[in-house]
Every structure is written in C-alpha cells, then in structure tokens.
Structure 1
Amino acid sequence: MTAQSGELIASQIGANLPYLRRYARALTGSQTSGDQYALASLEAILAGDAEYDSVLSPKVALFRVFHAIWSSSGAPAAEGESDAGLAAKAQKHLQRLTPNTREALLLHTIEEFSAAETATIMGVSESEASELISIAYEEMARATAGKIMIIEDEAVIAMDLEAIVTEMGHTVTGIARTESSALDLAAKGPGDLILSDIQLADNSSGVDAVNKILAKHGDCPVIFITAFPERLLTGEGPEPAFLISKPYTEEQVRSAVSQAMFFSSTETLKG
C-alpha cells in the first residue's frame, strides 16, 4: 500500500466509520463490544492484514472487512456484559434466531444496503441474502407486542411513527413534544420502548429526557431518530444501540422497533 493510497483509504474509512460503529452496536447490543469489533476492523485494514477491496464502494468494502472478522469470531452478542438484565435477554433471544438473519436485516434496513451489497458484505449469494432478510422479518414479527412511548416535536412525524408501530401491533402510550412533557408522560408508565427525537420543541433535549426516564423508571429499549446521526456517534461517551436517520423509511422504523423489542438492548447517552 502506497502512502497516497493509504491516505485515501484512511479518508474513506473515516467517512464511514460512524455508520460501522452504529451497525456494530446494534448487532452486538453493546457499545463496548461493538466498538471493539469496529476498531479491530480498522486496525486490520491499516495494518494490511485484511483485504479492503477498493473496487467496491468504500462503505461496502469497510463493512465486508468487519464481517470477515465478525464471522471468524463466532458472532457473539453483548460480549463482556453482565449476565443479568437486558444483556442476558439479548443473549437468550439471539439463540432463537436463524444464523445470519440479524446481520442481513440490519445491513439492509438500517444501513440501507441493497440485497446485492448485503450479499457482498456477508460473502453469500444475492438470493441467499434476500432469503435471510425475509426470514428475519418473519422471526422479528413474532416478538411480543408492547407499549411504546414517542418523544417527537414534529406532529406529522409523530403521527407517522404512531401509525407504523400501531400497525405492527404495538400500543402507543402517548406523544411528548418537550422534555418536561416526556417526563410527565413517563410518570404514567414509560412502557416497553421509547422512540425519541434528539431536539425537541422548546429546544430541550430528547437525550436528557430519555436518560432521566431511564434513571427513574429503569432500563427499556430506546430508539433515537435524528437528522444528524454522526453527532451521536463520536465515541466520546455512551451511545445508542438503535439510531435511525431522518428522513427515515417505514422499513427502517419497523426493523429497529422489532430489533429493539426482540432483543431488549439499549445504551443511554450522556447529555
């Protein structure tokens, strides 16, 4: 690898690393474990120990290296976490999934790779990747329906989210537009999952609202929705396991909600 090509690859990796960390975190259910795999991928590429295929798009090439490392490790979940609580639930649920379906679903929906790109990343045929995605949807749909709290200041988006999760069989406990209203709503019962925007109507923080709710009422899965996901993937503190970019698709919301409800894994953020 020449110095010039090394600089180009480093630049390409830097642009896509936040998204690899987001994916690794959702995949493992743990910020610590997810970042370990992302770092291992980065180190392998820069050391020349992994094949970073420059013929592929930079994001596909990076994720392909990650998957080679992830697969060779046996694809564990919530590595190094406690045996109690949410991490234990994640481990238990993982054992019920058909191998590779979780990876395929996350790649296709959250990271928006095509079936062909997903196949390239995972090292399988396109038809196999499509089948894995279909199986994942079926398995996630079997998850128990629950109560979902929505924290979103844009009325149209809030109504859209409510419609999506209601159609999935979940019940919406309420919609909050500010941090204070979110805390009031949570006092009546936070539910089984929180869908939250980052910036709220009165310039209050959805992150602060969520952290206060979790501190008072205990852990539950959280999905953050934001137009600027890179701002939450800085590596400077605890970050969310589930993060959706605006504008989102219905498929992304369905996937994230199913994943979060099924695995019951979450990380909080520092305000």
Structure 2
Amino acid sequence: MSLGQDLAPHLPFLRRYARALTGSQGHGDAFVRATLEAIVAAPGDFPRDVDPRLGLYRTFHAIWSSANIEEDPGAGSGADPESIAQARLARITPLSRQALLLTAMEGFTPEDAGYLIGAQPDEVERLVAEALAEIERQTRAEVLIIEDEPIIAMDIETIVRDLGHSVTGVAVTRDEAVAQAMARRPGLVLADIQLADDSSGIDAVRDILQEFQVPVIFITAFPERLLTGERPEPTFLITKPFQRSTVKAAIAQALFFDQATIPA
C-alpha cells in the first residue's frame, strides 16, 4: 500500500484537529495542506517507524512548530500577512491545550501525545491537568443545544452544566433552534446534523449566523462527510458516539477562541 493510501483515512481527523487547534477552518486547512506538501516534497523524511496516523500528526506538528515563532519587528512590509497570522494563532494555543486536544479529542495516549509534542508522558498528563484547570477559570457561557435524541441531549446538557455553563434551551428541529436562538441569544451552540423533522442542524446554524455571530460545535456520526476541505465547514466537530472529555475539550476550545484577542 502506498503512503498516500496509508494516510488518506486519517486526513479528515487531522483537519478536525487542525481546525480546533487554530480556531478556524481556513488556518487549520492551510496547515494540513502545508503538511501534505512537505510529505510529497520529501517522502523519505516521513517517519516510517511508527503508525501512519502518528507519523502524519508528527509531520503536522513539525509544520505547526515552525510557525510558532515571534514576529520579527524588523520584518516590515516584506512579511507575509498570512504567515504572521498563523504565527500569532500558534502562540495563542498553548502546549497544554495541544496536549488536551490530542488526548481528549483525538484519542492519543499520553505516550503518543508526548511523541507528537516532544514531551514525556508524565509531562503530557501535567499539561492536560493545567489545561483543565484553565478551563475551570474560563468565562461562563449560555449554551443552546440542538439535538433530537433525548438521551444524548440530556448527556450534553449535563456536561455543559458540569462545566459551569448554563443552557438556554434544547431544540429538536431547525425552526425551534432558530426561534430559541432569537429569543435568548446563546454564547455557544452545540448542534446535531440530522434533526427530528428531517431538517438540518447545519441549516439551523446558518439561519442563526445570519442574525448574529456565535461559536458553533457540530455533532455527527459521520465526520468525514464534513471534513473534506472543499467547502465552508465546521471549525469544531464532535464524533458520535462521543466521550465526555471530548465534549469538554471542544467546548473549552471554541470558547477559548471566541474570547481570545489576537494581537494587532
């Protein structure tokens, strides 16, 4: 099997990670493209002594780390604005949150996460604990849940409340979601893709975003359908069935970027 065939099944999930790490589809996909370009340019440098997924994420982190540099004040007009923006984003997402996303969202063990970010397993566990402590100090938000499966909706609501956030409501259709959002504007939306009346959570979110901006996390059993990189897609995505830790990490990261201010 070729290297491309080995890596193809893992690309949607690298896109998910990259978007969660950068806080945007555009920046995340740019880093993924740069990763693939580096692999194509020097396939012999790809780490073959580890699982292909691990090697892919390792190459991504090498690209990510290369952008995590201080902007040169003397760069002047010769600096690439996109490169500067990416470097600023790299500084915004600290190592502790990288460790949390790798373990909670991507399912890597502390050993594997350590390999990816250049840390020992016990250091990864310390970084994750640091990220969780930071989440506890995070500004509280009002959350709208769009989910038509009662048990899943209750589970999500419990997770949201356990994090200290409040729930503005639980909607099961597109129309309900839009009406609830207009009645009480949430600070975060968690949306299933397929809703009770065969309407779409994506359409509900699109309607809401036409009225006001709010961070959104989508929940789906088929993430690869939304992570092609070919059209506007979710920045934050949770895969069903999900772990509670995954939902917590996604909520924290979505609010982190919503509340963060990128230096001018």
The normalised TM-score by structure 2 is: 0.87
**What residue in structure 2 maps to residue 243 of structure 1?**
237
Match for 1:208: what amino acid? D
The normalised TM-score by structure 1 is: 0.85
Q: Map 1:181-260 to 2 at 5 A.
A: 181-216=176-211, 218-260=212-254
SS of match in other structure, 1:53: coil
**What residue in structure 1 maps to residue 165 of structure 2?**
170
SS of match in other structure, 1:244: strand
CA deviations on 1:98-143 (whole Å, 9 max, x unpaired) are x411211111111111111101111221111111111111112211
**What residue in structure 1 maps to residue 106 of structure 2?**
111
Match for 1:197: what amino acid? D
5+ residue gaps in structure 1? 1-6, 266-271
**What residue in structure 2 maps to residue 59 of structure 1?**
53
How many residues matched? 247
CA distance in 2, matches of 1:37, 1:146: 30
Match for 1:192: what amino acid? G
CA distance in 2, matches of 1:32, 1:166: 31
Distance 1:175 1:74, change over 3 A: same
Contact in 2 for aligned 1:196/1:206 (Cα 8 Å): yes
Runs of 4+ in structure 1 deviating by more than 4 angstroms, as ranges, are: none
CA distance in 2, matches of 1:148, 1:221: 10
CA distance in 2, matches of 1:263, 1:94: 12
Alpha-carbon offset, residue 17 of structure 1: 0.8
Higher helix proportion (structure 1 or 2):
2
Q: Map 1:1-271 to 2 at 5 A.
A: 8-48=2-42, 51-74=45-68, 80=82, 95=92, 99-216=94-211, 218-264=212-258
Contact in 2 for aligned 1:197/1:225 (Cα 8 Å): yes
CA distance in 2, matches of 1:165, 1:157: 12
CA distance in 2, matches of 1:196, 1:263: 18
Q: CA RMSD in A?
A: 2.3
5+ residue gaps in structure 2? 71-80, 260-264
Contact in 1 for aligned 2:226/2:233 (Cα 8 Å): yes
CA deviations on 1:171-204 (whole Å, 9 max, x unpaired) are 1000000101111111212310000000001110
Contact in 1 for aligned 2:68/2:91 (Cα 8 Å): no
SS of match in other structure, 1:264: helix
CA distance in 1, matches of 2:179, 2:26: 32
Contact in 2 for aligned 1:176/1:182 (Cα 8 Å): yes
